[in-house]
Amino acid sequence: MNKEFLRMQQLAGLITEGEYKHNIEEEETQDPEALKDAEAGLKAALNTLKAGVNTIKPSPQDKELKESVALTVGLIAGAPGLLSLLGRAVNGVSSLFQKDGKEGTVVGNALKKWGHALEESYLGIIGAMLVKAFPTAYEGQDVHDKTTPLYDAAHTIYAGILAAAAVTSGMGALEAHNIIATGLEGGLAAFKSAEVVDLAKKITSA
């Protein structure tokens, strides 16, 4: 998307002046190498998660989650194999940025772009992981049904994965969340910042 196209959108009233300026700023902070790293890293991480689904065991806190409805960072950390698998996936993403010396906003914007592109694929596999970890709590739920607790939980974990990848590449956790969440379904309003930031920190230390 070039400046002329964005300007035409603004003049036609399709975007506001504020959106125009934001899009121009974002366009200028896109780095081709960082975008390539984000694509390769997130696709490899998705394969890591797929390969590891069957290593996840039912959590002893499955019943507790069923009764409380909301998935907490503590419950994720207590699910056997779940947090360590997320950590391995994130390390695979961040290692590419580190190898190419990419950090800060260019990493956040690259993860935002490819995070949006791969969102549906990730939600499917994260949903499968959560059903393995909490079979009773999420029994019969469809991760693509936005009215279910499973969708909310998978959505939060995905934002946490992306934020963690940005954090391990030199961004602050809250800054990473604020950039990345705007590219996901529902935008910033769809997430509780504290939960995503907390989860990102847990993943980076897994």
What pLDDT is recorded for position 25? Answer: 59
**For the chain, what is the mean pLDDT?**
87
Is a pLDDT exceeding 80 seen at residue 173?
yes
Q: For the chain, give every domain's residue range.
A: 1-30, 31-204
Residue 5 has pLDDT above 70, yes or no: no
Task: Give percent of the chain above pLDDT 70.
Answer: 87
State the pLDDT confidence band at 67, using cuts at 50, 70 and 90.
confident
Question: For residue 24, is pLDDT > 60?
Answer: no
Closest CA to 194 of 167, 160, 169, 170: 160
Alpha-helix runs per DSSP H in the chain: 3-11, 17-28, 32-52, 62-68, 73-78, 82-99, 105-117, 119-133, 149-167, 173-181, 193-204
The whole-number average pLDDT for the span 153-169 is 94
The mean pLDDT of 117-141, rounded to a whole number, is: 95
- The tens digit of pLDDT for each residue in 46-65 reads 999 999 999 999 999 998 88
Q: What is the pLDDT of residues 96-115, one digit of tens each?
A: 999 999 988 889 999 998 99
